[in-house]
Amino acid sequence: MSRLDLTTGRIDMTHGAGGRAMQGLIERLFHAAFDDPVLVRADDAAVLPAADGPLVMSTDGFVVSPLFFPGGDIGSLAVHGTVNDLSMMGARPLYLSSAFIIEEGFALADLERIVASMAAAARAAGVRIVTGDTKVVDRGKADGLFITTAGIGVGRVGVHPAADRARAGDRILVNGPLGDHGVAVLSARGQIGLNVPVHSDSAALNGLVEAMIAVDADLHCLRDATRGGVAAVLNELCDRSRVGMTIEESALPVRPAVQGACEALGLDPLDLANEGKLVAVVDAASAQAVLAAMRAHPLGRDAALIGTVVDDPDHLVEMTTRFGGRRLIQWRAGEALPRIC
């Protein structure tokens, strides 16, 4: 009889020991939820058909705390994060792997909820989870659950956004309000009396990127603004492309609730993590067409043109404030918020 009880049970060391209990967990939970014929073969690796273009691969680890937050959870976040990394290279995401490190005593009902969320996110993004791994560690050796995902996508001919392709005169676009994920996770922790009605923006951006490519295949730079936020992305692009950037504070889309939380806590929305927001650098001639395509997509309806790429031997990011002043937007020295993704 299986020791797996998905209603009231908890993870114990046998669920990672390679025996019958582990097999039961894998088959009744992961195989059932992800429902992929390659995965249920349970071979040591997934055998996949040859791609019709260059392969693009990415991997990421997810340690967010808490595991459940307004607008998402660690399962959907793990899918979105890796899908977006592939999408920012202009690739079409195809396959994911998932590795679970689970702490002894973790509630099986919570694990079931997270796996179901992960499966739903993968289906919505059009990607398949084809291989994975499960490890159980002693009580106190992990904070409940960590997930690592790796993804494979196929590149598109003639589409090659890269961090070193920004040129003076290019325009800088974002697809919507900034900082939602960081504030939502911080609010969910309930440790500092912050109760802000903001949901995480966690989402798979591959569909939005496809819409952008349809009107301009020559997108110069694409980056999802996760840890470090938009400030880190802009500084990295300036450094890699050997250019400067100017942005307009009045053009930055930030929800009033997020702005209020940032002012209360001494944070800058530009530093906060997002999990469904991208920064695009595009040629000036196509900027308005790309912006229109973004606004026509559900994940880009609040897209905005926030600035311009300029010649600058110092490779600085400068912001024109609402009062006409200027201030530098720099790399943050440390983490604004830990354990947010």
Q: What is the DSSP string of 108-177?
A: HHHHHHHHHHHHHHHHHHT-EEEEEEEEEE-TTSSSSEEEEEEEEEEPPTT----TT---TT-EEEE-S-
pLDDT of residue 238: 98
Q: Where along the chain do its domains lie?
A: 10-155, 170-328
pLDDT value at residue 191: 61
The answer to whether the peptide bond before residue 37 is cis (omega within 30 degrees of 0) is no
Burial label for 175, CB within 10 Å (0-12, 13-18, 19+), is buried
The position carrying tokens 């058909």 is 49
Give residue 190's pLDDT.
Answer: 79
CATH code assigned to 10-155 = 3.30.1330.10
Residue recorded with tokens 């009580």: 139
Output the pLDDT for position 3: 57
For residues 93 and 127, the answer to whether their CB atoms sit within 8 Å is yes
Strands 317-320 and 244-248: parallel
pTM to 2 decimals?
A: 0.96
Q: Does domain 170-328 have CATH number 3.90.650.10?
A: yes
Token readout for 327 is 């201030």
- What is residue 237's three-state secondary structure? helix
- Residues linked to residue 90 through DSSP beta bridges, in sequence order: none
Ramachandran sector of residue 120 (left: φ over 0; alpha: ψ -120 to 50; beta: rest): alpha
DSSP H or E run through 327: strand 326-328
In one-letter notation, the amino acid at residue 282 is V
Q: Hey, what are 54's tokens?
A: 């260059």
DSSP code of 51? P
96 closest CA partner among 135, 61, 130 = 130
**Count of C-beta atoms within a 10 Å radius of residue 338:** 9
Tell me the Cα Rg of the chain.
21
User: 220 with 170: CB under 8 angstroms?
Assistant: yes
* pLDDT value of residue 1: 43
Rounded CA separation 257/276 (Å): 18
A 10 A CB-CB count for 120 gives 14
Helix (H, G, I), strand (E, B), or coil: what is residue 10?
A: strand
pLDDT at 158: 92
User: How far is residue 293's CA from residue 297's CA, in Å, rounded to a whole number?
Assistant: 7
10-residue averages of pLDDT along the chain (341 residues): 66 92 93 97 96 96 96 98 98 98 96 97 98 96 96 96 98 98 91 79 98 98 96 98 98 96 93 97 98 98 98 98 95 79 91
